[in-house]
Amino acid sequence: MHHRRLIHVAIFLLIFVLYSLFKKSPPPPSVKIELPVKPLKAFIYSAYYYPTSKSLGDNALALLMSINLPPTPHFSTPDFKEIIISAENSTSSIVVRTPHHKVNYNDHCLIMTIFATAQLIPNVEKIKMVSDDGMTEIPFTKPSYVNRDVVVCVAPLFVSEQWQNFLFAVHIYKKYGAFVNLYLISAVNTFYNLMKEYEEAGYLSIKPWVYVKFSGIPKAIADTNSQIELRSQAAAQSDCLLQYKEAAKFIMFFELEDVIIPRLAPTYVKEFQQLFNSDQLSYIYYQRENYNAVVTRYGGRFSLKNMFGSLTYKNFREAGKSVVDPLRVNYTSLHFPSHVPEIEKYIVSENVITHIKTVDWVDIIEDPNEKQVVEPLYYNGTSETIISKKDILDLEKDFRKMRKQLQLKKTLSKLPRIRYYSVLAYKCYTMKYYDLYYFNRRSGITCPGPLYCKFKQHPKINCMQANVTYSSMRKLLPITYYYATDPHFSEDIGCHAH
């Protein structure tokens, strides 16, 4: 009996020893590592309030802003998935939460453009952006409700001198039924005066497009000088879309050097209606074919007929541009709305964009009254032409009508005769961006920000520059909202200011 008890004790001790040897040690107490939080800064480009909207709904707000949203290895981005908005009218108020959507997807840039929309209340009088520890009242405006068939949204012009391209484009757009909305950062003074003459004649609307600024914020938090893609071009195009969303049947996103001559119908709207042959299409995409033009450097000798006759195909295709149904699209990137499913787009094979890639400025040019009308050839190498002789003569007639008015004010004779800024900008972007992109050296690409290309002011060339009043804001968490007021043009801050 005693012997059996000893055996039981030994077995117990063995089990205890084995358990002690093999049991897992308790985990050490968890330590939460707090990464530094990057304060969020958002610059509101535009806030459109729609009393009625066929696509966004009545009493809708559309917001477009740049924000230092993308995380980096050294920062953790706060949980920022919703925008909170407060709205008031004379009798009531509302607070709404809404998600935001990225407009552009350039991985090289650390400040992104985002879009958001929300349903508010009728007859809004005040709109405020809500943070955890305060609110920021923001200015807002109503979109255009003037019916238009087609609106061309022209990407922001910067230190612009190419007045020949401007004349070429605005007369073409008018003839085929489009209204031009042109964003302008800066242009040589005499060229700006030419644009204003055409604005007063109803060809276009000129809108100041300003730089993003966060007053008093260090570059380590939000570097607006180098981390916003191409001077916010996608934001400008999206702003134009929101501005004319309720007014236009179709909206084109082009640069000043881009034109389309309709081939399927006599006007833009009829060509687009043929190509949008499905209720499911959100946008159509035109390829760009590059051409060279030879033009006079003297405004008084310029002729659209001569410019058409000088066009030669460069045998090089570039990324195209899009035309959208504004009821189905709320924002767009540089070339097309990247958020739209593939099944909702159509790549156009029936026509192309004529892209004036290069321009030669020359001293001697033939008299347009004596020169025969030359129909430039279509890119495909056949006998097809870009435009008919009749249409060229119609365009020349329209230009000569405007020329009589321009000559009275000597606007044409004062236009730039040399290219200074445009040549420097072209060389810079070719070397630092396009050569790297097209020759598969993309690892060398950095964000093409607002000050991507720096060059000296020319002492004898003056510019009109977009200008605004920037406001300092009290820091709020998790996000501080900024905006600018009083957009206008100034001629005393230089051609290349920021």
114-141 pLDDT, tens digit each: 999 999 999 999 999 999 999 999 999 9
Report angle CA 366, 368, 370 to the nearest 5 degrees. 80
Structure tokens at 243: 């501005």
What pLDDT, on a 0 to 100 scale, did the predictor assign at position 17? 44
Reference 176, options 354, 404, 415, 379; nearest CA is 354
Mean pLDDT of 196-207: 97
Angle, to 10 degrees, between the axis of helix 189-200 and the axis of helix 389-408?
110
Write down the domain spans for the chain. Answer: 148-461
Structure tokens at 27: 């985990």
What pLDDT, on a 0 to 100 scale, did the predictor assign at position 70? 67
Residue-wise pLDDT tens digits, 433-484: 888 877 878 788 888 888 888 788 898 999 999 999 998 899 999 999 999 9
| Between 426 and 105, the higher pLDDT residue | 426
% residues pLDDT > 70 (the chain): 90
Question: Is 70 exceeded by the pLDDT of residue 66?
Answer: yes
Report the distance separating Cα 167 and Cα 190, nearest Å: 14
Answer positive or negative: Cα dihedral of 357, 363, 366, 368. Answer: positive
For 202, counting Cβ atoms within 10 Å of its Cβ (0-12 exposed, 13-18 middle, 19+ buried), the class is exposed
- Computed over every residue of the chain, the mean pLDDT equals 89
Residue-wise pLDDT tens digits, 13-37: 444 444 444 444 454 444 444 445 6
What pLDDT, on a 0 to 100 scale, did the predictor assign at position 369? 73
**Structure confidence at residue 497 as a pLDDT band (50, 70, 90):** low
Q: How many angstroms separate the first and last alpha carbons of the chain?
A: 99
What pLDDT, on a 0 to 100 scale, did the predictor assign at position 212? 93
Neighbours of 197 (CB within 10 A): 15
Report the distance separating Cα 41 and Cα 481, nearest Å: 6
What pLDDT, on a 0 to 100 scale, did the predictor assign at position 19? 45
Residue-wise pLDDT tens digits, 470-481: 988 999 999 999
Question: Is 90 exceeded by the pLDDT of residue 161?
Answer: yes
Report angle CA 184, 185, 191 to the nearest 5 degrees. 60
What pLDDT, on a 0 to 100 scale, did the predictor assign at position 493? 86
Report the distance separating Cα 461 and Cα 93, nearest Å: 52
Residue-wise pLDDT tens digits, 268-325: 999 999 999 988 999 999 999 999 999 999 999 999 999 999 999 999 898 999 999 9
**Structure confidence at residue 215 as a pLDDT band (50, 70, 90):** confident
What pLDDT, on a 0 to 100 scale, did the predictor assign at position 11? 47
- Where is average pLDDT lowest: 5-19, 267-281, 397-411? 5-19
What pLDDT, on a 0 to 100 scale, did the predictor assign at position 73? 58
- Where is average pLDDT lowest: 38-42, 240-244, 252-256? 38-42
Mean pLDDT of 55-62: 97
Whether 116 and 101 have beta carbons less than 8 Å apart is answered as yes
Q: Encode burial over 25-36: b for 16+ CB neighbours within 10 A, e otherwise.
A: eeeeeeeeeeee
What pLDDT, on a 0 to 100 scale, did the predictor assign at position 214? 93
% residues pLDDT > 90 (the chain): 72
Residue-wise pLDDT tens digits, 345-394: 999 999 999 999 999 999 977 777 777 899 999 999 889 999 999 999 99
Residue 497: what residue type? A
Reference 66, options 232, 183, 223; nearest CA is 232
Question: Can you give the chain as a three-state secondary structure string?
Answer: CHHHHHHHHHHHHHHHHHHHHHCCCCCCCCCCCCCCECCEEEEEEEEEEECCCCCCCCCEEEEEEEECCCCCCCCECCCCCEEEEEEECCCCEEEEEEECEECCCCCCCCCEEEEEEEECCCCCCEEEEEECCEEEECCCECCCCCCEEEEEEEEEECCECCHHHHHHHHHHHHHCCEEEEEEECEEEHHHHHHHHHHHHCCCEEEEECCCCCCCCCCCCCCCCCCCCHHHHHHHHHHHHHHHCCCCEEEEEEECCCEECCCCCCCCHHHHHHHHCCCCCCCEEEEEEEEEEEEEECCHHHCCHHHHHHHCEEEEEEEEEEEEECCCCCCCCCCCCCCCCCHHHEEECCCCCEEEEEEEEEECCCCCCCCCCCCCCECCCCCCCECCCHHHHHHHHHHHHHHHHHHHHCCCCCCCCCCCCHHHHHHHHHHHHHHHHHHCCCHHHCCCCCCCCCCCCCCCCCCEEEEEEEECCCCCCCCEEEECEEEEEEECCCCCCCC
**Structure confidence at residue 496 as a pLDDT band (50, 70, 90):** confident
Whether 235 and 453 have beta carbons less than 8 Å apart is answered as no
Report the distance separating Cα 289 and Cα 380, nearest Å: 10
Answer positive or negative: Cα dihedral of 61, 64, 65, 69. Answer: positive
Whether 259 and 173 have beta carbons less than 8 Å apart is answered as yes
